Structure formats: C-alpha cells, structure tokens
C-alpha cells in the first residue's frame, strides 16, 4: 500500500500503481471528469502515470494555471500533427505552452504559411481532436530516437544533447513527438482552436542559426471561452500602446536612430516628466536623495558587480578608448554606480539608512526579433533606487518600500495585483553569487515583510536575481492580462563585492545590506502598460491636457484665452483649439485625442461669463462657472491621487 497526501493535508491509502485519475475518482466522479493534469512530488506527470511510492499529489483542472499549461502543451502536439499532415516535408522543432496558448517552430521548406492558411490548420486540428486520441508516454533509446528523426537536423541536435535512458516520446493518433511529458488525458478535451499568427524565429533563439516559422495558437475546452478570448484580443488591439502612442503623439521610433531606441515626442516627454515628478515628490517625503550617474562605466566596474559575467552576452560591444586595453560599457544597470557613490564616503551607523535614487537610463542588446514597442527596448530609464542600511533597519526599510509601491499603484489605478517572492533555485547554485547563509537571511526578510503587510503572495523558486531574492508585483490590467510591475530586492552580495562598510556602535566596520527598488520598473514599459490598461484615458492628474477649449467661431477667441488663463491660474492644464473648423469636427477630434474635458465657448457663454463642459465619452455637464469647473477637476484628482 502507498500513502498519497493531497493539498488539503489529507492522506489517502491506495494499492501500488494507482493513477492520479484513480485518486481523482476516489474523491468524486464529477471532479475526476474535470481533472486534466497532475503533479506528484513536484514533478509534472500524466493522469495515467502509475504511482508506486508515498508522496504528495496535486490534481489540476482547466481552471488551474498548471492545467492550462498541460492543455496548451498537448494542443501544441495536435498543431504539430496537423502541420505534418498538411505540409509534406515540413520539419518540426520545438513547441511549448506559453502564457496564453502555445507555438510550434517549424522549417516549412518550400512551403510558405500565412493568414490565409490558418483556417485549414484549425480544421485539421479539430478533426484530430475529435478522434479522442489518448496521449501516451513511452521511453526510447538514443539510437531509436535518432533513427526516428533521421533527416530532421533540429530534433537530432536536441537528442544528441540528451543522455541515453532519459529520452521519452509522446504518442497520440498516428503522431509521435520527442517530449518530457505533461499532457491532458486525450485530444477530445480540446473543443476550440485558433491559429493566431505566424512569425520568424531563429533556431534556439540564435540569430546566427536558421530562421524558422513560429506558428502561434490557442485552444479551449469550450467554444464560448475562445469567443470571449477573441473579443478580448480585439479590445487589446484598440488598446495597443504602439497604436495609442502614435495617435496621442507620445513617442516614435526611427530606423536611422536605431531599433529599440524610442524617441519621446513633446507630449510623451511631458507625460514622463509628470510621472517622474510624482515619484520624486513621494521619494523626497520618504528621505531619498537624488543622484546622477554616467551612461557608461569601465568594464571592471561590471566585472566587480558580477553583471558582466551574467549579462555580458546581452550587452552592447565594449567601447574602446585611444588608451590601450581600456574598455567601457554602456551602463546595463545603475546599482554598481550607486555602490561607488556610497563608497565615496565613510559612513557611521548613525548616518544610515542612505537612500540614493536616480532616473537612470540603461542599455541592453535585445535581438531585433524580441523588440516590441516600449515593452522591449534597447535603451530604457529605470526609476531606480538603492538603500543601504544596517541589519536592524532592513525590516522597516523594506516595508516602507512596499508602502511606496502600493502608493504608486493606488494613484495610477492598479487595484488588482498579487505579489511574488522570487527565491533562488537550490538545484542551480551556479546561477547566483554569494553564500547560502546570506541568501537564506535575505529570502526570509522578504517573506516576513510580505506577511506583515498582508500581501497576497506566492513563492516562485528560481526567479531570483543573480545577486539576491526579490519581491515582484504582478498586476492585472483592465483586460485581465498579468504584467510584472515593480520590484524590491534584498542584496547582501554587492556590498560584499564592492567592500562597502559603515562604522558600527562598536567602532568596528560592518557591511551594509542593500535594497534595490523600482516601483515603475522602467519608464518605457510602465507607460506602455499604463496606455493599455487605461486605453489612453490616464488618471486626470496625469493627462497631458486636462481640458481643451473649443470656440464656436473666431469671435470668441478673446474670451477663450481669458478662460485659459483662469484655468492655468488654478493649475489646470488646458489649451485652446483656434482652428477655423466646425465645432462638431473639433469635438470629434478632441474625443480622439482623449481630452478629459471639452470646454465649449460661444455667444451665451461669453455673455454669462460661464463655460459649457462636456466630458470625454459624451457626458454633458451643462453650462457652469469657471470656479465650479475648477472644483470638479480638483475633486476628481483628489479621488485618484492618493496621499503618501
């Protein structure tokens, strides 16, 4: 007999070789009908895998993230089979599940796949799915695997890097694929599929290797869910930050300047400045000091910090000076520079904590295929700060940073978020620097702070930065998509590597602890997320123009200018549309530009010294005094801009 522990802590006893599906049926036949994947002792397995030892079992349904992973991984197999049957000579490579759906990278040879082919692929996938073919895992020798993929250099390369005795395949229908496992019971669970797009992708992400075609898809257990997802995608297209950024004249890109290097237009620059000033004001209250560091640094700086070893391949090529053997790098991170600022003085424990903040621009070389609007760029500005404190101060400082992040989220309308405590993977110590004891202390400090603040958090193993664990905030936007936004990290290692010290009350030198934090993350990515979350309808306090004054004709320009001056005296950002256009056209274009308030000026307004106000979206506030309008604006701002 074996003992199976379930997530609620209960223990059930079964005969050896019981399967996860058998366990599910012992709980409830109804529950078992919904189980599509399982995990035993932290390893993903099939629902038909025989269990032979005591252990912990988790059963997943479609509603679980791990269940969706198994569903989409299995769907990738069905996509691969459809492609193989439709395109003679196509060579399959790899096809994983991703956050929303799955993809398969394929060498189509002489074939070209485009949007016009999507329907045929979908039809073939559904035909396969309706066969209700079981997914079955089997082991194979290296020789058998190589023989199966003779002529497919991609699969052969993968197999050559595997050890004999560790190679497994998954079979369903007439199709087989090299696979580690983690599938749904059978293809019949897949009821709705959609091929979303195709794109170029280099084999194994190496731009020096062959370019393949990546086919993206998504699938669901119900047609209704696919319909809802496609409706969400349509809404996402309307909210695409690249589209809105162009329409609102916030930023642009230039091939001559270079890919992944955004150019901020006047309205976008003003938006960034307001965001920076907003955070600077909060930081000043919290005792931060602003610093400025160069855009480049000597290679040795990043060797010392460890960034060169970890990020050297993703950096731009070194900058060589006329001096022999002298190399500089474009700054990939601000933290080494801030360590040197701290080191420029000798501090006492009475001086700590020191909180250095900077809106520092950094540079990393991203492959052109990975670039995407403002969310993936080669040059970006971090709202970076580094706090240097004593061990006794760590808990309070970390909690204060959490408060700052929550203030930012609240003022910008991000109410739906969870936290993620990202810790090291003890199985891969080479990924990290520093000793285990300091890592354990840092991880526990983050967990304690998250508990004390009542955060809803999960612990993710292997997601830590190379120098320390971190608390990441995962925000859901208006469309339900998850974004990593804002991070706080505890670091014992950089102070050690840079030999940072402070004099303690015992007159001895001690190492400070370093906290890294960036509530926005980067200005570029944050603006992109904010655009897509709000659809360009930013909180009123942040809008480039809070009100636009539309005069019915040139006769009322003088009064329009007077209204503008009065609003500006009340610190309301407004402008006048002087163009000789119809009022209807001015209103339509003001709506397109997402101006929160439209102030219409005509004969009656001038005579009564009032204004007619219309809100973005069509709500008519009627004719009111300028003073009343100012109060409306101030009240709306006070509701959204939180107090820190």
User: Which is nearest to 109 in space by CA: 93, 95, 90, 92?
Assistant: 90
| Catalytic residue (one of 382, 393, 420, 489) | 382
| Catalytic residue (one of 179, 335, 339, 389) | 335
335: annotated active-site residue: yes
Strands 354-363 and 289-290: parallel
470: annotated active-site residue: yes
| Catalytic residue (one of 77, 331, 337, 516) | 516
| Catalytic residue (one of 105, 107, 384, 472) | 384
C-alpha torsion sign, points 87, 91, 97, 101:
negative
Coil/strand/helix, residue 571: coil
320: annotated active-site residue: no
Residues in contact with 446: Cβ distance below 8 Å, sequence separation at least 6, in sequence order? 398, 421, 469, 470, 471, 488, 490
516: annotated active-site residue: yes
384: annotated active-site residue: yes
**Cα–Cα distance, 248 to 590 (Å, whole number):** 11
- Beta partners for residue 516, in sequence order: 386, 489
| Catalytic residue (one of 73, 337, 364, 573) | 364
Strands 192-202 and 354-363: unpaired
C-alpha torsion sign, points 171, 172, 175, 178:
negative
Strands 379-389 and 354-363: antiparallel
364: annotated active-site residue: yes
**Cα–Cα distance, 129 to 439 (Å, whole number):** 47
User: Which is nearest to 516 in space by CA: 472, 484, 457?
Assistant: 472
| Catalytic residue (one of 299, 386, 424, 610) | 386
- Residue 516 annotated as lining a ligand binding site: yes
| Catalytic residue (one of 124, 214, 470, 586) | 470
Helix (H) or strand (E) holding 11, with range, is strand 11-14
User: Which is nearest to 311 in space by CA: 291, 335, 293, 340?
Assistant: 335
How remote is the C-alpha of 529 from its chain's centroid?
9
User: Which is nearest to 399 in space by CA: 351, 471, 334?
Assistant: 471
The tokens of 208 are what?
Answer: 């020096």
Residues in the chain, overall count: 644
How remote is the C-alpha of 224 from its chain's centroid?
27
- Residue 179 annotated as lining a ligand binding site: no
Residues in contact with 453: Cβ distance below 8 Å, sequence separation at least 6, in sequence order? 399, 402
133: annotated active-site residue: no
- Beta partners for residue 241, in sequence order: none
- Residue 372 annotated as lining a ligand binding site: no
Annotated binding site: 335, 386, 516
Annotated binding site for Zn(2+): 335, 386, 516
Active site residues: 335, 364, 382, 384, 386, 470, 516
């Amino acid at each position: 007999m074996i003992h199976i522990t379930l997530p609620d802590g209960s223990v059930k006893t079964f005969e050896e070789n019981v399967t996860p599906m058998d366990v599910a049926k012992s709980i409830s036949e109804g529950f078992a009908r919904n189980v599509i994947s399982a995990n035993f002792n932290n390893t993903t397995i099939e629902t038909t895998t025989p269990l032979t030892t005591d252990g912990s079992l988790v059963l997943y349904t479609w509603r679980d993230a791990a269940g969706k992973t198994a569903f989409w991984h299995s769907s990738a197999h069905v996509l691969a089979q459809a492609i193989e049957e439709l395109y003679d000579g196509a060579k399959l490579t790899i096809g994983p599940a991703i956050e929303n759906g799955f993809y398969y990278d394929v060498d189509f040879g002489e074939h070209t796949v485009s949007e016009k082919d999507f329907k045929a692929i979908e039809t073939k996938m559904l035909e396969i799915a309706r066969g209700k073919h079981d997914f079955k895992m089997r082991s194979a020798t290296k020789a058998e695997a190589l023989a199966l993929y003779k002529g497919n250099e991609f699969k052969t390369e993968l197999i050559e890097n595997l050890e004999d005795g560790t190679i497994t395949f998954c079979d369903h229908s007439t199709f087989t694929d090299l696979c580690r496992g983690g599938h749904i019971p059978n293809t019949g669970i897949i009821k709705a599929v959609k091929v979303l797009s195709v794109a170029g992708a280099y084999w194994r992400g190496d731009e020096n290797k062959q370019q393949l075609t990546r086919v993206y898809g998504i699938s669901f257990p119900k047609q209704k869910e696919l319909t809802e997802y496609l409706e969400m995608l349509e809404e996402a297209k309307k909210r695409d930050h690249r589209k809105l950024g162009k329409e609102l004249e916030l930023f642009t890109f230039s091939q001559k300047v270079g890919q992944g290097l955004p150019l901020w237009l006047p309205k976008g620059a003003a938006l960034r400045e307001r965001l920076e000033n907003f955070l600077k004001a909060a930081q000043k209250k919290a005792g931060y000091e602003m610093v400025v560091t160069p855009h480049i640094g000597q290679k040795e700086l990043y060797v010392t910090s460890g960034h060169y070893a970890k990020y050297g391949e993703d950096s731009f090529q070194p900058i060589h000076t006329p001096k022999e053997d002298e190399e500089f790098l474009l700054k990939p991170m601000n933290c080494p520079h801030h360590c040197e600022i701290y080191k420029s003085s000798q501090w006492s424990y009475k001086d700590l904590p020191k909180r250095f903040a900077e809106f520092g621009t950094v540079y990393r070389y991203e492959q052109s295929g990975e670039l995407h609007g403002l969310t993936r760029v080669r040059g970006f500005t971090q709202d970076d700060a580094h706090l240097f404190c004593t061990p006794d101060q760590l808990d309070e400082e970390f909690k204060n940073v959490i408060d700052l992040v929550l203030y930012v989220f609240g003022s910008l309308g991000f109410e739906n978020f969870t936290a993620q405590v990202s810790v090291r993977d003890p199985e891969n110590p080479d990924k990290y620097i520093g000793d285990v004891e300091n890592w354990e202390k840092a991880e526990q400090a983050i967990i304690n702070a998250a508990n004390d603040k009542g955060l809803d958090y999960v612990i993710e193993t292997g997601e830590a930065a190379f120098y320390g664990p971190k608390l990441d905030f995962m925000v859901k936007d208006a469309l339900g998509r998850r974004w990593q936004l804002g991070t706080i990290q505890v670091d014992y290692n950089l102070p050690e590597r840079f030999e940072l010290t402070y004099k303690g009350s015992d007159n001895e030198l001690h190492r400070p602890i370093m906290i890294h934090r960036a509530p926005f993350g980067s200005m570029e990515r944050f603006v992109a997320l904010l655009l897509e979350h709000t659809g360009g309808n930013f909180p009123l306090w942040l809008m480039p123009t809070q009100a636009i004054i539309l005069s019915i004709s040139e006769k009322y320009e003088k009064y329009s200018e007077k209204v503008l001056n009065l609003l500006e005296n009340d610190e309301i950002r407004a402008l006048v549309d002087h163009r000789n256009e119809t009022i209807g056209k001015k209103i339509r274009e003001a709506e397109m530009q997402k101006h929160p308030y439209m102030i219409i000026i005509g004969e009656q307004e001038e005579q009564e010294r009032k204004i007619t106000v219309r809100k973005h979206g069509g709500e008519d506030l009627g004719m009111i005094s300028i003073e009343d309008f100012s109060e409306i604006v101030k009240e709306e701002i006070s509701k959204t801009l939180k107090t820190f």
